[in-house]
A and B are shown apart, each in its own frame.
Chain A
Amino acid sequence: KQEVTQIPAALSVPEGENLVLNCSFTDSAIYNLQWFRQDPGKGLTSLLLIQSSQREQTSGRLNASLDKSSGRSTLYIAASQPGDSATYLCAVTSLGGGSYIPTFGRGTSLIVHP
Chain B
Amino acid sequence: NAGVTQTPKFQVLKTGQSMTLQCAQDMNHNSMYWYRQDPGMGLRLIYYSASEGTTDKGEVPNGYNVSRLNKREFSLRLESAAPSQTSVYFCASSAPAGHQYFGPGTRLLVL
Contacts and interface: CB of A to CB of B under 8 A. Distances in A.
B74 interface: no
Interface residues of B, number: 26
B28 interface: no
Interface of A is mostly: strand
Interface string B68-111: 00000000000000000000001010101111111111000000
A44 B42 contact: no
Contacts of B27: none
A104 B43 contact: yes
A100 B31 contact: yes
Contacts of B40: 106
B45 A105 contact: no
27 contacts: A32-B97, A32-B98, A34-B100, A42-B104, A43-B102, A43-B103, A43-B104, A43-B105, A44-B100, A46-B100, A49-B98, A49-B99, A89-B42, A89-B43, A91-B43, A93-B97, A99-B48, A99-B50, A100-B31, A100-B50, A100-B97, A101-B45, A101-B58, A103-B45, A104-B43, A105-B42, A106-B42
